Amino acid sequence: MSSLLQKIPLIGKEIPWLNDVRQKGAEAFAKTGVPTAKTEAWKYTKPRELCGDDFVIKQSKKDSDWKADLPFEAYQIRFENGYFCPQESTLPQGVEVVPLIEAMLFHPEVWKHLCKMADINKYPFAALNQSYLNEGVYIRIEKNVELKKPLVIISHTTPGEENLFFNLHNLIVLEENAAATLVEYHTWSGEVKSRYFANLVNEIYLSAGAHLEHIKVQAEAFKANHVALSVVAANKDSEYKSFCLQRGANIGRNETLVKLQESGACAEVNAAYIMNGWATLDTTTDIEHLSAQTTSHQLVKGVIGGDAKGVFQGKIHIAPNAVKTEGNQLHKALLLSNTAEVDVKPELEIFADDVKCSHGAASGELDEDQLFYMRSRGIGLEEARQILIDAYLEDVIGKIKHEGIRNWVEKEAK
Amino acid sequence: MNKINSIEDEAGDKYKYGFVTDIASETAPKGLNEDIIRLISAKKGEPEWLLDFRLKAFEFWQTLSEPTWAKLKYDKIDYQDLSYYSAPKQKVAPKSLSEVDPELLATYEKLGIPLKEQEALAGVVAVDAVFDSVSVATTYRAKLAEKGIIFCSISEAVREHPDLVKKYLGSVVPYTDNFFAALNSAVFTDGSFVYIPKGVRCPMELSTYFRINAKNTGQFERTLIVADDESYVSYLEGCTAPQRDENQLHAAIVEIVVLKDAEVKYSTVQNWYPGDKDGKGGVYNFVTKRAACRGANAKISWTQVETGSAVTWKYPSCVLQGDNSVGEFYSVAITNNHQQADTGTKMIHIGKNTTSKIISKGISAGFSNQTYRGLVRVSPGADNARNYSQCDSLLIGATCGSHTVPYIENRNKSAKLEHEATTSKISDEQLFYCQSRGIGEEEAVSLIVNGFCKEVMQHLPMEFAIEAAKLINISLEGSVG
């Protein structure tokens, strides 16, 4: 049994129905356990390594004087070592941000979606997360409200003496025709004295006509583990547009499951990963076209150096009768060293005929001719390589609509 | 909609090759155990080492469980309810065609195998006809022997060329490879053996026709092809099976060894009985095919047209060990009614400058499901490896499924890998274009499908290309609405 499943007193443990929910998560995780290399969904990312160390679940908050320095205006939500830290920003009308534990106890409407969107029997780490259901945030954007400034969820960790393990669970609900930009920023400061393991679940519910742009930057400490699952339910004519940059962590996995469940729903799931050292960065997507006239686009680009390993698993599923759908996907990887590795599994699963689906995957190295061209013009090798890498990533990062965020991500990607 | 129904009804009787030849077979009792394996080995008068090989495989097989990762649904196979040996009863082994049971020859004639008319076919094809499990006639041996080419049944090879068989058998597909390979290694009854000596270019296409006949007999063929340095051979494999209601199991192994500068071209047309239009009956086809390019500049090319079988599980693979070796895989798979196919290839790049190409075309119709499953792996030492993969799927009708599951693993930065896959239906514009020019709907579909498959079909040898084009049309009849 993994040390990840520990008995710790959580808030609300005396409430039977809340205990039940957590218990279900614990049971589901105990049944599957930590996935092995034989688990198809974890084939290329070594989950055993994720859980190799003893992790400790901290029960006390620790404030830090670290300040996020974001070059764009935003409403901030902060988590420090996995605990919610109240912030002093005032939210506009029509937006509600409530700590998860408070929402679970006093906003019964959250139970319409909370822990309902992903099948925990299929996602062991989501099951584990559910067994610790406590920390996180509930965000609700009211009908027809369009949020001008982005909402930023910052998860900041200060690695301490012990290997820290924390779980965050966010529920984001956009009501009819609401629109918002959500940024997730996972970062750290201090000294890397220990490993830590962040296990995250986002449940995102988009009502008819809602629009969400979801940008994530994973810049965890190089010894950290980061496992995240975002589940999105997109209803009629809603739009989910996401971009995830992974550039930190020892093992990082960002998994996105989008359910396009009503006609007109569309999703754009883009990602980039940049890595060195011994890291394994995994981008996994599963786009389910469950209704007719739904569309999805994916573009994922990776830059892999050192002894690192990049993993991309992308699936497009078209349900029977989900006709007039369009799904496409492209993954490209750039290998910078001879010990780098990339493992790709793009998958199409199609049960309807009137569809247009495609996927493409390519991998290669930097073009020698282009490098030579620049070097012959007096640009140093390192600089020339950087220019080529920046240009290579430009088209995927360029898909971020919000200009301030785009510039910030470009800097983060360097 | 009436039109569709009428065509579909017709499609029900379309399996041209569904007949049973009445020949007394000598069949082993049902079940699988050590005694049966000893019986098979004894019947074939095999040497001790081969019996050991079989027993080891059987022992290993018992530790395995049937793989479930493929996107296939079928009733559990009861391996103890099958008979593992069946041979047409004949007192003396035939020395020439005239001694062969005339009823058997009549069967082949119905199938269109040019066994009798081969002279007329100007000696293009030498047929090693396999009826159930024992080779009953092998032709053109003399002409091949002149060049030093060995083309015979594997049992004969075990007797006459034991050194070659011992050296290469199980060297490409070891019995530990997978569940079905272990089963085959334990109970294989017959198959073909080909050896092309150094520097010889095989003057004709070698061909074998497999045929499953006796009731409840699984067929476990084993083919071993060895192409020595600088040699060339083109090998054809074609299959038909009689119509039956019970599922028939087939678990074959094809092993190919390609040495320095040699080239092997392996073509398959598979049209075993796919079951009736309700998915009843049909052949279960679990095949392990693999070629190893052992020397520099070796080349292997797989071409397959898969239209038959109720269940297909088949991944012809290329292990590119020699520097500059080349692997190719061209495939057309057509599934209709309730057929299921999980097929694809593996390209393992080990040597430097190795290249591989995958062209896979899948067509699903009716209630069928089809999966392309492929692996491209580049090892750290495979500098400048190159792979191009293209998998296109065509869907006909709203009740079928088409899936693509490629695995791409790159561990060398100088490797250039490209993979593309598309899935769509026959466009209304294309159909309208044809129909507005007076081409009927069925004919238009067949025209479009043939165009869709052209890239693969052109890699088939002449004799096969014609048969394959006809097969595609037969397979798709009744699928258009």
What is the SS3 assignment for chain A?
Answer: CCCCCCCCCCCCCCCHHHHHHHHHHHHHHHHHCCCCCCCHHHCCCCHHHHCCCCCECCCCCCCCCCCCCCCCCCEEEEEECCEEECCCCCCCCCEEEEEHHHHHHHCHHHHHCCCCCCCCCCCHHHHHHHHCECECEEEEECCCCECCCCEEEEEEECCCCCCEEEEEEEEEEECCCCEEEEEEEEEECCCCCCCEEEEEEEEEEECCCCEEEEEEEECCCCCCEEEEEEEEEECCCCEEEEEEEECCCCEEEEEEEEEECCCCCEEEEEEEEEECCCCEEEEEEEEEECCCCCEEEEEEEEEECCCCEEEEEEEEEECCCCCCEEEEEEEEEEECCCCCEEEEEEEEEECCCCEEEEEEEEEECCCHHHHHHHHCCCCCHHHHHHHHHHHHHHHHHCCCCCHHHHHHHHHHCC
Closest Cα in chain B, distance from residue A387 (Å): 19
Domain presence at residue A29: yes
Nearest of B89, B326, B122, B124 to residue B234 by alpha carbon: B124
Q: Does A359 touch chain B (CB under 8 A)?
A: yes
A343 CB neighbours in chain B (<8 A) are 407-410
Q: Is A403 exposed, middle or buried (0-12, 13-18, 19+ CB in 10 A)?
A: exposed
Q: Return the DSSP state at B415.
A: -
Q: What is the total count of domains within chain A?
A: 1
Yes or no, beta carbons of A360 and B380 under 8 Å apart: no
Q: Does the beta-carbon distance from B413 to A338 stay under 8 Å?
A: yes
B117 — pLDDT class (breaks 50, 70, 90): very low
Q: Rounded to the nearest 5°, which phi and psi values hold at B170?
A: 80, 5
Q: Is-contact A163 A130, C-beta < 8 A?
A: no
Residue A365 to residues A10, A249, B188, Cα–Cα distance (Å): 49, 23, 46
Give residues 90 to 109 of A whose Cβ lies within 8 Å of B: none
Count how many residues are written for chain B.
481
What's residue B6's pLDDT? 40
In percent, the amount of chain A with pLDDT more than 70 equals 95
In tens, the pLDDT along A159-206 reads: 887 888 899 999 999 999 999 999 999 999 988 878 889 999 999 999
3-state SS, one letter per residue, for A316-346: EEECCCCCCEEEEEEEEEEECCCCCEEEEEE
Please report where in the chains the tokens 């001790």 appear, as a residue. B48
- The letter for the amino acid at A287 is I
Cβ neighbours of B400 in A, within 8 Å: 351, 353
Task: Give me the pLDDT at residue A365, please.
Answer: 92
Euclidean distance between CA atoms B80 and B31, whole angstroms: 4
**Residue owning tokens 């017709």:** B10
pLDDT band at B4 (very low <50, low <70, confident <90, very high): very low
Pairwise CB contact (< 8 Å): A353 & B396: yes
Q: Per the domain annotation, does A229 fall within a domain?
A: yes
Are A166 and A134 in contact, with CB atoms under 8 Å apart? no
A326 touches chain B (CB under 8 A): no
The residue among A351, A322, A358, A354 whose CA lies nearest residue B400 is A351
Cβ of A63 under 8 Å from any chain B Cβ?
A: no
Give me B186's structure tokens: 């334990």
More confident residue, A151 or A16: A151
Identity of the residue in B409, B418, B422 whose CB atom sits nearest the CB atom of A362: B418
Query: What residues in A contact B406, CB-CB < 8 Å?
Result: 344-347, 361
pLDDT of residue B331 exceeding 90:
yes
Residue in chain B lying closest to A364 (CA) = B416
- Element at B447 (helix H, strand E): helix B441-457
Q: Which residues of B touch A340 (CB under 8 A)?
A: 411, 413
- Quote the pLDDT of residue A53: 60
Query: Given an 8 Å threshold on Cβ–Cβ distance, is A321 in contact with B399?
Result: no
Residue of A nearest to B405 (CA): A347
Q: Assess A319–B contact: CB distance below 8 Å, yes or no.
A: no
pLDDT of residue A182: 97
Residues of B in contact with A357 (CB under 8 A): 422-424
pLDDT tens digits, one per residue of A142-162: 999 999 999 999 999 988 878
Output the six-digit token pair for B101: 């049971």
Nearest chain A Cα distance for residue B352, angstroms: 14
A173 within domain boundaries: yes
Residues in chain B whose beta carbon is closer than 8 A to a beta carbon of chain A? 69, 380, 393, 395-425
DSSP letter at A82?
Answer: T
Question: Nearest CB to A346: which of B406, B409, B418?
Answer: B406
Interface check for A388 against chain B (CB to CB < 8 A): the answer is: no
Contact B358, B327 (CB under 8 A): no
Q: Is residue A338 within 8 Å of residue A305, measured between CB atoms?
A: no
Chain B residues whose beta carbon lies within 8 Å of the beta carbon of residue A349: 401, 403
Higher pLDDT, B14 or A401: A401
The pLDDT of residue B130 is 53
Residue B90 confidence (pLDDT): 45
Average pLDDT, integer, range A242-261? 95
- What is the least distance, in Å, from the CA of A250 to any CA of chain B? 19
Q: Residues near B167 by Cβ (< 8 Å), separated by ≥ 6?
A: none
pLDDT digit string, tens, across residues B419-468: 999 998 888 888 899 999 999 888 888 889 989 998 888 888 876 777 77
Tell me which residue has tokens 């694809």: B344
Quote the CA–CA distance of B62 and B41 in Å, as a whole number: 19
In a domain, A373, yes or no: no
Rounded to whole angstroms, the Cα distance separating A311 from A405 reads: 25
Residues of A with Cβ-Cβ distance to B420 under 8 angstroms: 358-360
Identity of the residue in A337, A353, A363 whose CB atom sits nearest the CB atom of B395: A353
**pTM across the whole model:** 0.87
How many Å apart are CA B390 and CA B405, to the nearest integer? 12
Which is nearest to B347 in space by CA: B385, B313, B294? B385
In B208-253, which residue ranges form alpha helices assigned H by DSSP?
A: none
What does the block give as tokens for B286? 């679990």
Which chain A residue is nearest to residue B406, measuring alpha carbons? A345
Task: Tell me the nearest-neighbour CA distance from B355 into chain A, angstroms.
Answer: 14
Distance CA A208, CA A210 (A): 6
Which of A43, A330, A348 is the best substitution to test chain B (most B C-beta atoms within 10 A)? A348
Pick the residue from chain A with its C-alpha nearest to B428: A354
Cβ B376 vs Cβ B350: under 8 Å: no
- B192-196 and B150-153 beta bridge pairing: antiparallel
State the pLDDT confidence band at B335, using cuts at 50, 70 and 90: very high
Say yes or no: A349 contacts chain B, CB-CB below 8 A. yes
Cα separation, A356 vs A337, in Å, equals 36
> Closest by alpha carbon to B121, among B273, B236, B263?
B236
- Please give the single-letter amino acid code of residue B479: S
Query: Does residue B474 register a pLDDT over 80?
Result: no
B414–A361 C-beta distance less than 8 A? no
Task: Please check the confidence at residue B126 and state whether its pLDDT lies above 70.
Answer: no
Q: Is the Cα torsion angle B175, B176, B178, B180 positive or negative in sign?
A: positive
In the DSSP assignment, the letter for residue B79 is: G
Question: Would you call B409 and A353 a contact, using CB atoms and an 8 Å cutoff?
Answer: no
Residues whose CB is less than 8 angstroms from the CB of residue B21 and which lie 6 or more positions away in sequence, other chains included: B103, B104, B106, B107, B213, B242
A365 with B414: Cβ contact below 8 A: yes
Q: Is residue A108 within 8 Å of residue A12, measured between CB atoms?
A: no
Whether residue A335 lies within 8 A of chain B, CB to CB, comes out as yes
Instruction: Find the closest chain A residue to B409 by CA distance.
Output: A343
3-state secondary structure of B256: strand
Percent of chain B whose pLDDT exceeds 90? 47
Average pLDDT rounded to a whole number, residues A2-9: 64
Chain B residue numbers with beta carbons less than 8 Å from the beta carbon of A337 are 413
In a domain, A60, yes or no: yes
Q: What is the pLDDT confidence band of residue B15, given thresholds at 50, 70 and 90?
A: low
Contacts of B431 in chain A (CB under 8 A): none
Q: Which residues pair with A184 in a beta bridge?
A: A153, A216
Residues of B with CB below 8 A from A356's CB? 422-424
Residue written as tokens 């084939």? A43
Q: Smallest CA–CA separation between B124 and chain A, in Å?
A: 41
Partner B contacted by A329 (CB < 8 A): no
Q: Which residues pair with A205 in a beta bridge?
A: A173, A233
- CB contact (8 A) between residue A360 and residue B406: no
| Cα gap A397→A270, rounded to integer Å | 8
In single-letter form, the type of residue at position A194 comes to: S
- Return the DSSP state at B221: B
Residues in chain A: 414
- Here the tokens at position B271 are 């049209």
Alpha-carbon gap: A102 to the closest alpha carbon of chain B (Å): 43
Q: Report yes or no: A356 at the B interface, CB cutoff 8 Å.
A: yes
Q: Is B184 exposed, middle or buried (0-12, 13-18, 19+ CB in 10 A)?
A: buried
Which residue in A has a C-alpha nearest to residue B374's C-alpha? A345
Q: Tell the residue number behind the tokens 């009863």, with chain if given.
A: B89
Tell me the HSE value of B431 on the side-chain side, using a 13 A CA sphere. Answer: 12
pLDDT score of B195: 95
* pLDDT of B240: 55
Chain-centre distance for alpha carbon A241: 13
Q: Which of A29-38, A234-243, A383-392, B11-20 is least confident?
A: B11-20
Calculate the CA dihedral of residues A69, A72, A78, A79 and round it to 10 degrees: -70
- What is the pLDDT at residue B128? 54
A121 part of contact set with chain B, CB < 8 Å: no
Taking contacts as CB-CB distances below 8 angstroms, the residues of chain B near A276 are none
Of A40, A348, A354, the CB nearest to B421: A348
pLDDT of B118 above 70? no
CA angle B115, B118, B122 (to 5 degrees): 165
Cα distance from A124 to chain B (closest Cα, Å)? 19
Query: Is residue A386 a part of any domain in this protein?
Result: no
**pLDDT tens-digit series, residues A339-393:** 999 999 999 999 998 899 999 999 999 988 999 999 999 999 999 999 999 999 9
Q: What is the percent of chain B where pLDDT is above 70?
A: 77
Q: How far is CA A20 from CA A15, A130, A200, A389, in A?
A: 9, 10, 20, 49
Mutation target among B392, B408, B476, B479 for the A interface, most CBs of A within 10 A: B408
Q: List pLDDT tens digits, range B396-422.
A: 888 899 999 999 999 999 999 999 999
Q: Identify which of B86, B104, B195 has the alpha carbon closest to the alpha carbon of residue B144.
A: B195
Q: Is residue A405 part of a domain?
A: no
User: Cα separation of B420 and B404, whole Å?
Assistant: 10
Identity (one letter) of the amino acid at B37? I
Are A350 and B425 in contact (CB < 8 Å)? no
Q: Look up the domain containing A74 and give its range.
A: 16-367
Which of A320, A344, A356 is facing B424, going by the closest CB pair? A356
pLDDT above 80 for B104? no
Cα dist from A169 to A80, A93, A138, A230, whole Å: 14, 24, 9, 10
Rg (CA), chain A: 21
Give the confidence band of B23 by pLDDT, cuts at 50, 70, 90: low
